[in-house]
Structures are given as C-alpha cells and as structure tokens.
Amino acid sequence: MSSIVSFIGWHDSGKTTLASKVVSELKKLGYKVAVIKSSNDTGIVFDTPGTDTYKHKEAGADSVMLVAPDQMVLQTKNSDLSLRTLAHRYFPDVDIVIGEGFKTARKIPKIEVFTTLDQKLRDEVHGVIAVATNLEGVACDYVFRLDEAREIALFIEKRYLRKKGSREITALLVNGNRVPIKEYIQQALAGTVLGFVKTLKFNKDINEIELRIKVDEMNEKE
C-alpha cells in the first residue's frame, strides 16, 4: 500500500515549493506520486497557474487532490478506465453515479438527449433506454421532454435505485469492476473480515472496513 509523508508549516513558509520539488525528484526516481493538498480556505480555484495544486501538477504528480471546507477535487491522469470502474472506485458510497458522455460504455443504461433528428445516436450505440427531446413523433419506449427533469429522475429511481434499507453490506471489486454476490456470501465475507479486524483489538467503533489485495505482489512473494 502507499506510504504517506506530509509537509507542514505556516502559510508562506515555502512548504508547497519544497513539496513540489520533492515530487519532481521522486518522479525522476521512477515513482508514481500523488499529492493531497489540505486548505482551510474556501472558494479555491483548482489547477490554475500560480495555485498550489497547479505547482504540484507541473512538478509531475500523477494525481492531485484538493481537500477544503467547501470542496474536494481530484485530478488524475486518464487510465482509460470504464465508466463502471470509475464509479465503483471513486464513488463507492453514493447510491447512483450519473455520467455525461461515455456513449460507447458497455452495459450502461443511457438516456439520449437531442434537439434535431440528425443528432440521433440510437442506431450507433447500445443501451439507450429512453430519449429526451421536444421533437414530436419520436419512436421509443420512453420519451421525455427536455423540461421533464423530475419525471426522468423518477424514471431512474423506479428502474435503478434500490429501496431504502436494501443496500449491500459487502461490495466486491475485481480490477475495479463490481462482481455481484449473493446476500449470504456478502454476510459470510463481511463476518470473516470483521472477525479478523476485531482480533487486532482495534480501539475505535467499526462502521466500515475497506480491504484491498494486490494479487501481483502476493505472487511475487510465493
């Protein structure tokens, strides 16, 4: 797992300048480097010339995250991850992730929006479950007007959101992709891992456990 080192100091102490230089040196040594910048300020503009996050990016950081009272922003290189992998990896605690774009994403339900007939994509992509348009005479199982955002939200809720109280207790991701598992297996996995953690005499209330296994590293040690 990742090691962590933090640079601290008063405002204008030079910690950002030093940290960004260290990022550059670590990159020269061949390491992947992420930077998490903490700030007590609000209204910070992320990744613009002169800002601390921009300096870290310019230093070669692979990923930069800003954590402030009013926002948390992550910028990282495009690893060509699928929409499903992005959603499960970075937003595991939300009930639904709404994508914009990703027209070629496999096995993802899509709502097509268009204002002229020559904009239609349904003949080129898979997974279109509904359309949103103000045009008349459009043939599709579910057609919404462009001002029917609430109706579309209710449509999504009915088809894709679980009832309250029925959320998974265990989520299994393999290479970033969610693997559906039956409820009794969820219970078994959760119980096994929780039992092990309790043997470590963890002295805080346990609300959630995350476990990540690097299979390649396991194989190297065998």
Q: What is the pLDDT of residues 49-86, one digit of tens each?
A: 989 999 999 999 999 999 999 999 998 888 888 888 88
Q: What whole-number distance in Å separates Cα of residue 51 and Cα of residue 144? A: 43
Q: Is 61 exposed, middle or buried (CB count within 10 Å of its CB: 0-12, 13-18, 19+)?
A: buried
H-run or E-run covering 76: strand 71-76
- CA 117 → CA 16, 101, 121, 138, distances in Å? 52, 19, 10, 9
What integer is the mean pLDDT of 158-177?
A: 74
At 162, the pLDDT band (50, 70, 90 cuts) reads: low
What are the counts of helices (DSSP H) followed by strands (DSSP E) for the chain?
Answer: 6, 8
What tens digit of pLDDT does each residue of 190-199 get? Answer: 999 998 888 8
- Which has the higher per-residue pLDDT, 194 or 13? 194
Task: Retrieve residue 78's tokens.
Answer: 């495009």
This prediction has a pTM of 0.70
pLDDT at 168: 72
| pLDDT for res 4 | 86
